[in-house]
Amino acid sequence: MSSRQVTLIGVPLDLGAGRRGVDMGPSAFRVAGIDERIRSLGYEVRDLGDLPVKIPETQAPGDPRMKYLKEIREVCEDLRDKVEAVAAQGGIAVVLGGDHSIAMGTLAGLARHHHARREKVGLVWFDAHADSNTAETSPSGNIHGMPLAVALGLGSPSLVNLAGFSPMVDGSRAALVGIRDVDVAERANVKASGIGAFTMRDVDERGMRAVVEEAIKRATTGTAGIHVSFDLDVMDPDYAPGVGTPSPGGLSYREAHLAMEMLADTGRVVSAEFVEANPILDHGNGTAGLGVELAASLLGKKIL
């Protein structure tokens, strides 16, 4: 990471989720002191504030297979343009969610910036869920279960083409870490995408170091840099209770920090997002606080 400027972008979107509350996530990260923590690492920090987002009480969900598609696409288009501008200035965008559907906008902006330079982007996606549903496979119609499929070229054309081309990221240059709750119908999508999928069994059997080494290898081979997408529900609920879709048996505190520290050591992280913090379900804002700590490790905080 040669840039010493980090730009924070809040996206208080919860239209993609089935449970309210993650719209307060950006504020929770700021209350937890994310800007001060990043500044302490020697970065110049800009905060663009929050993007304007419509709320479900004022909107009709539309197609039950892809609820609030129009509204979510509009937010992702706005985010795409903001992230692309940050990348063009040589900065690092750190996006604060919001539900995980915002990753479509982050990746569209980053991919579009690098595509214009004939460069590829690598991706490491941390999540309890595969986020690889399409309208045909989703049991809920909630778009926060679809963004990884979209980034890898599967799903609705109106989302798949957010960057102006598809896929935003090649499956061979992407890794999914920590999954343990995958819908039966989306398993075929994971396999079709070509992504390197590492389940919690892989973490248990091989250890976090080996899994992250392989994820980094995929994300750095032939790429200009790595985007890190971190859903806080990848953590075990004992460490991160404030998420909308908790799943037992997740990453430990040290496993997550090790992953962030290893990614920081590559010097190749060009953007990141931390999503799905739900203060309504949290205890003392601890989940957002953990997200801030992990962001610091990703940006180079060291123990010694």
**Which domains does the chain possess?**
5-298 (3.40.800.10)
Which position among 113, 114, 129, 257 bears the catalytic label? 129
Q: Evaluate if residue 130 carries a pLDDT over 50.
A: yes
Q: Evaluate if residue 2 carries a pLDDT over 70.
A: no
Token digits of residue 146: 């679809």
| Alpha carbons 201 and 141: distance in angstroms, whole number | 28
Unique residue bearing structure tokens 């806080």: 232
Q: Could you confirm whether 282 is annotated as catalytic? A: no
C-alpha distances in Å from residue 15, one per residue of 70, 74, 282? 10, 12, 20
Closest CA to 165 of 176, 175, 150: 150
Mean pLDDT, the chain, integer: 97
Q: Could you confirm whether 227 is annotated as catalytic? A: no
Token digits of residue 12: 């208080």
Reported as a pLDDT band with limits 50, 70 and 90, residue 1 is very low
Q: Could you confirm whether 81 is annotated as catalytic? A: no
SS3 state at 7: strand
- pLDDT value of position 19: 83
Residue pLDDT, tens place only, 179-222: 999 999 999 999 999 999 999 999 999 999 999 999 999 999 99
pLDDT > 90 fraction of the chain, expressed in percent and rounded: 96
Which position among 114, 144, 227, 257 bears the catalytic label? 144
Which position among 131, 186, 273, 293 bears the catalytic label? 131
SS3 state at 67: coil
Which position among 170, 202, 233, 236 bears the catalytic label? 233
Which three-class secondary structure string do you get for 184-232?
HHHHHHHHHHCCEEEEHHHHHHHCHHHHHHHHHHHHHCCCCCEEEEEEH
Which position among 35, 231, 255, 273 bears the catalytic label? 231
Residue pLDDT, tens place only, 159-181: 999 999 999 999 999 999 999 99
Q: Could you confirm whether 183 is annotated as catalytic? A: no
- pLDDT value of position 12: 98
- pLDDT value of position 18: 83
Which position among 99, 100, 255, 273 bears the catalytic label? 100
Q: Could you confirm whether 127 is annotated as catalytic? A: yes
Residue pLDDT, tens place only, 72-109: 999 999 999 999 999 999 999 999 999 999 999 999 99
pTM of the model: 0.97
**Between the CA atoms of 55, 145, 104 and 125, what dihedral angle is there, to the nearest 10 degrees?**
130
Q: Evaluate if residue 3 carries a pLDDT over 90.
A: no
Q: Could you confirm whether 129 is annotated as catalytic? A: yes
Which position among 14, 255, 276, 293 bears the catalytic label? 276
- Give the mean pLDDT of 34-52: 97
